[in-house]
């Protein structure tokens, strides 16, 4: 140190006088250190993308999340909505592909927070595509300010659109996309003072080229949409239906919501009235006029899903019918069996309700039974349907032909009906059901379900046990739509089930691959007769062999009370085994012998009885018709059965038979269509083959639990179809099954390709034929 020199500005090394050195101060007064410096654009105005994940209440289509992208240089937005949180992984792929190949944006970097749902999958994908990845520090959303603030702008505009139009808040997925469309075409001022239009700046080749706003209409205004496929005979049917504008797709394509059906569709032929907007009272004045006015909803016992749309013309034209063909009518209109014992309690008629009924959660009073309409669904009409493979690119022709065919099935019924593709997602629990557009129908169905199982002596109401060692587990509600043979809504179903995740495991009582198709092959080869029954609430015929105590179901609970189950409920792990034991005892007493390779298959001299859960098929040689009739009568006296006539549907498989050609077709078009809809793959591109030539390789990274679960579900869904009726894709599902434990992004893309291939070729069917005798 130099003597006599004083240096100012240096604090004494004393932590008591310097708060920066005070440990107590640092521990108790820590603050955010936010930088006010601008981020800058080191990658150019098109170079960096910010994206973020936003959670929102469930939408009309089940979506709960929005993945938002923001191109900071030109203030361009893009948004994708999805049901599951890990759907952001697909959203990134859906954004990157067109950004590189269609829009030719020179993107160099992606910036996002450490969102766990994105995980390694998104990071690996972006790295493989050559992008620079920038992360914000955990817990510092300020460092991801562009994404946070721009996402807030999109949400604010979407909320404003819905509120101003008076539409339901669950339409937010459509409002978000409309908000992005509007913001991208609205002028915005840059920090340097220039005004730009983001869409014009990003996509148009010439900056001065104006943006086309010819399709811009006021969000939420009334839309008169031209109806498609009105039958020629329906001269007095209105030519348009009322909806409300919720989105913009192209210069002459709009997204329109139909509140009375809870559906949103893309339409072209539409006239707008920008002075009229949605009023919730419309639903009260004329409720759901488009849903089965002449074939009202029914609520009642177990049904087999008979939804389908079309079958391939590759199948030859059948020309013969069975002698006693009964056809397939909606099960909600099926006549109850007349053969009952004198001591059995007569089944109450199914309650028919319209969407405008006001149900109560109290037990529902059954109305008078409706007379079933004349049977128009003959085998000859089914055979004609097989010849109609419709062009995937001609939507008007497709809807017209299907509507004409439906008119033939329903005779004079010319009312518009609701197809499965237009319905909102089924409610997953009681709370969702109460907020569902069809909550009144489901409430009535729930009331009838409780009344039905009470009539069958399924439970006993007891006081809640005081012994804490006795576990009282909850029940759950399962709500389903039921459809006719063409996929149109005919019935709402509510069922009380036991939660399977809270039970001990039992060995399955049913074979994994049902023996139904081999039995049907024998039917064709030996010209056998078939007759099908549906066991109403099959499991309730089984008596429990142990004490089972459960909570009362939601909506019907009483304080201090619970249910002691006396009979097997659906969802109870022991129910299939108990029902199999009950059915085996009855069939054995009738002189039938079980086939050891399949405990659900019984045989006698010239007679085969095959049952799978509640589906029962009786097959007999023509020489044994009298004996088969006696067995049917005995079964009908023992259980409550619904007579389905000649076998036309079994385990979701449609059966079409031609006696003259000695042929039978097995079709799973309805199952494939519903599977594609479930996974939102109906709009994916069409593929000519289920697999690409490239060889699949094991994934080097680690898939998340959500990805593994999704992949396993999709592979399992496709295997059921490819095992029975679609061997052309069997090799593909077998190959993909090798990656069940750790699927990668490529595997997920390929399984989506397989489902898309099956969906776009779902008219194809499996032919069983014998030499013409």
* Among the ranges given (304-318, 405-419, 603-617), the one the predictor scored with the smallest mean pLDDT: 304-318
* Cβ count near 147 (within 10 Å): 24
**Six-digit token pair at 340?**
């009952």
Strand partners, 562: 462
Strands (E) across 557-623 are located at 561-567, 593-595, 598-604, 607-612, 615-620
pLDDT tens digit string along 581-614? 888 888 888 888 888 877 788 888 888 888 877 7
For the chain, the structural domain boundaries read 48-203, 221-285, 297-334+349-367+375-667, 671-769
Q: With CA atoms as reference, report the closest residue to 413 among 424, 421, 404.
A: 404
d(CA 499, CA 232): 50
Report the C-alpha gap between 586 and 707 in whole angstroms.
45
CA 114, CA 129: separation in Å to the nearest integer?
Answer: 19
Mean pLDDT of 335-363: 38
**Position with higher pLDDT, 766 vs 42:** 766
φ, ψ of residue 707 to 5 degrees: the values are -65, -40
pLDDT given for residue 172 in this prediction:
93
Residue 293 has pLDDT above 70, yes or no: no
298 band by pLDDT with thresholds 50, 70 and 90: very low
Q: What is the pTM of this model?
A: 0.46
> How far, in Å, are 71, 158, 184 from residue 213 at the CA level?
22, 19, 12
Closest CA to 328 of 514, 488, 537: 488
Tell whether the torsion through CA atoms of 687, 692, 696 and 702 is positive or negative: negative
Task: Catalogue the E-assigned strands of 308-406.
Answer: 351-353
* Phi, psi (rounded to 5 degrees) for 342: -65, -25
Q: What is the residue-averaged pLDDT of the chain? A: 75
Q: What is the 3-state secondary structure (H, E, C) of 704-721?
A: CHHHHHHHHHHHHHHHHH
Strand partners, 53: 67
pLDDT of residue 420: 75
pLDDT of 246 reads 94
Q: Of 381, 318, 378, 386, which is closest to residue 667 (Cα–Cα)?
A: 386
On whether the CB atoms of residues 713 and 737 are closer than 8 A, the answer is no
Q: Higher pLDDT residue, 286 or 65? A: 65
8 Å CB contact between 252 and 449: no
pLDDT-based confidence at residue 521 (cuts at 50, 70, 90): confident
8 Å CB contact between 56 and 79: no
CATH code for the structural domain at 48-203: 3.30.420.10
Q: How confident is the model at residue 323 (pLDDT cuts 50, 70, 90)?
A: very low
Q: Which of helix, strand or coil describes residue 169?
A: helix
Q: Name residue 493's beta-bridge partners.
A: 480
Could you tell me if 570 and 495 are in contact, meaning their C-beta atoms sit under 8 angstroms apart? Answer: yes
Q: What is the pLDDT of residue 178?
A: 94
Percent of the chain at pLDDT above 70? 73
pLDDT at 147 over 90: no
Contacts of 537 (CB under 8 A, 6+ apart): 301, 302, 452, 453, 456, 614, 640
Q: Is the pLDDT of residue 336 over 60?
A: no
Residue 727 pLDDT greater than 80, yes or no: yes
| 22-26, 75-79, 173-177, 549-553: least confidently modelled range | 22-26
pLDDT above 60 for 11: no
Percentage of the chain modeled with pLDDT above 90: 8
Residue 237: how many CB atoms within 10 A of its CB? 12
Helix, strand, coil % in the chain, rounded to nearest 5: 30, 20, 45
Residues 341, 369: Cα–Cα separation, whole Å:
21
The larger pLDDT score, comparing residue 311 to residue 743, is at 743
Lowest-pLDDT range of 227-236, 293-302, 371-380: 293-302
β-strand pairing of 132-135 with 109-112: parallel
> Rounded to a whole number, what is the largest CA-CA distance in the chain?
129
What is the reported pLDDT for 223?
94
Q: List, for residues 162-201, the tens digit of each pLDDT value.
A: 999 999 899 999 999 999 999 999 998 888 888 888 888 8
Q: How far is CA 730 from CA 181, 195, 689, in A?
A: 42, 57, 12
Identify the CA nearest to 487 among candidates 656, 681, 669, 642: 669
Checking if the pLDDT of 378 tops 60, the result is: no
CA-CA distance, 402 to 419, in Å (whole number)? Answer: 11
Question: In b/e form, how buried is each residue of 80-115, taking b as 16+ CB within 10 angstroms?
Answer: bbbbbbbbbbbbbbebbeebeeeeebebeebbbbeb
Location of structure tokens 């809809």: 677
Task: Round to whole Å and give the CA distance between 612 and 565.
Answer: 24
Joined together, the tokens standing for residue 217 give 């209409």
Burial class (CB in 10 A: 0-12, 13-18, 19+), 26: exposed
| pLDDT of 301 strictly over 50 | no
Between CA 199 and CA 186 the distance in angstroms is: 8
Structure tokens at 430: 């009681």
- The pLDDT tens digits of the residues spanning 210-229 come to 788 888 999 999 999 998 87
In eight-state DSSP terms, residue 615 is: E
Q: Where are the beta strands (DSSP E) in 72-141?
A: 76-82, 109-112, 132-135
């Amino acid at each position: 140190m130099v003597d006599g020199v004083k240096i100012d500005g240096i604090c004494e090394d004393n932590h008591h006088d310097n708060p920066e050195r005070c440990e107590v101060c640092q521990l108790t007064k820590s603050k955010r250190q936010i930088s006010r410096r601008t981020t800058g654009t080191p990658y150019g105005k098109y170079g960096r993308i910010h994206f973020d994940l936003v959670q929102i209440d469930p939408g009309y289509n089940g979506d709960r999340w929005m993945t938002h992208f923001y191109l900071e240089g030109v203030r361009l937005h893009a948004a994708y909505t999805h049901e599951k949180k890990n759907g952001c992984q697909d959203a990134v792929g859906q954004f990157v592909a067109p950004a590189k190949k269609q829009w030719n944006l020179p993107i160099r970097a992606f910036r996002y927070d450490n969102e766990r749902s994105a995980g390694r999958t998104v990071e690996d994908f972006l790295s493989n595509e050559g992008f620079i990845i920038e992360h914000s520090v955990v817990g510092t959303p300020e460092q991801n300010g562009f994404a946070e603030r721009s996402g807030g702008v999109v949400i604010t505009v979407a909320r404003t659109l819905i509120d101003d139009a008076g539409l339901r808040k669950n339409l937010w997925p459509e409002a978000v996309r409309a908000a992005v469309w509007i913001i991208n075409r609205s002028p915005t001022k840059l920090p340097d003072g220039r005004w730009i239009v983001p869409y014009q700046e990003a996509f148009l080749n010439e900056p001065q080229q104006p943006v086309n706003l010819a399709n811009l209409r006021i969000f939420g205004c009334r839309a008169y949409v031209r109806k498609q496929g009105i039958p020629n005979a329906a001269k007095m049917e209105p030519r348009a239906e009322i909806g409300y504008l919720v989105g913009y797709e192209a210069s002459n394509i709009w997204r329109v919501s139909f509140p009375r059906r809870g559906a949103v569709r893309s339409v072209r032929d539409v006239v707008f009235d920008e002075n009229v907007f949605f009023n919730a009272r419309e639903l009260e004045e004329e409720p759901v006029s488009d849903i089965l006015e002449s074939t009202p909803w029914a609520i009642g016992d177990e049904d087999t899903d008979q939804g389908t749309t079309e079958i391939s013309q590759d199948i030859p034209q059948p020309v013969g019918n069975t002698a006693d063909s009964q056809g397939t009518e909606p099960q909600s209109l099926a006549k109850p069996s007349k053969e009952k014992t004198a001591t059995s309690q007569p089944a109450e008629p199914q309650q028919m309700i319209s969407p405008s009924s006001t149900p109560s959660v109290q037990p529902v009073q059954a109305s008078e039974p409706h007379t079933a309409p004349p049977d128009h669904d003959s085998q000859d009409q089914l055979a004609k349907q097989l010849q109609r493979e419709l062009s995937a690119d001609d939507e008007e022709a497709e809807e017209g032909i299907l509507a004409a065919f439906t008119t033939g099935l329903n005779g004079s019924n010319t009312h518009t009906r609701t197809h499965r593709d237009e319905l909102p997602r089924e409610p997953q629990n009681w709370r969702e059901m109460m907020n569902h557009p069809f909550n009144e129908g489901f409430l009535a169905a729930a009331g009838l379900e409780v009344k039905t199982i009470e009539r069958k002596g399924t439970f006993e109401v007891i006081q809640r046990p005081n012994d804490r060692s006795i576990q009282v587990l909850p029940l759950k509600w399962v709500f389903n739509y039921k459809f006719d043979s063409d996929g149109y809504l005919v019935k709402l179903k509510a069922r009380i089930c036991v939660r399977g995740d809270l039970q001990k495991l039992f060995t399955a009582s049913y074979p994994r691959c049902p023996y139904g198709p081999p039995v049907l092959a024998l039917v064709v080869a030996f010209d056998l007769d078939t007759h099908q029954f549906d066991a109403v609430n099959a499991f309730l015929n089984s008596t429990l062999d142990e004490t089972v105590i459960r909570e009362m179901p939601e909506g019907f609970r009483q304080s201090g009370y619970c249910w002691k189950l006396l009979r097997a409920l659906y969802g109870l792990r022991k129910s299939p085994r108990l029902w199999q034991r009950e059915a085996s005892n009855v069939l054995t007493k009738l002189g039938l012998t079980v086939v050891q390779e399949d405990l659900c298959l019984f045989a006698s001299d010239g007679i085969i009885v095959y049952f799978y859960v509640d589906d029962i098929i009786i097959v007999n040689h023509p020489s044994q018709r009298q004996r088969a009739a006696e067995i049917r009568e005995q079964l009908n006296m023992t259980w409550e059965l619904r007579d389905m006539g000649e076998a036309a549907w079994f385990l979701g498989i449609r059966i079409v038979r031609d006696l003259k050609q000695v042929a039978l077709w097995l079709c799973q078009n309805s199952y494939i269509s519903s599977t594609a809809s479930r996974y939102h793959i109906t709009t994916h591109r069409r593929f000519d083959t289920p697999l690409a030539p490239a060889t699949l390789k094991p994934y080097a990274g680690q898939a998340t639990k959500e990805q593994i679960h999704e992949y396993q579900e999709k592979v399992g869904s496709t295997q059921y179809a490819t095992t029975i009726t679609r061997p052309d894709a069997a090799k593909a599902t077998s190959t993909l099954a090798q990656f069940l434990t750790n699927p990668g992004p490529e595997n997920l893309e390929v399984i989506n390709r397989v489902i898309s291939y099956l969906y776009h070729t779902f008219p194809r069917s499996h032919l069983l034929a014998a030499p013409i005798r």
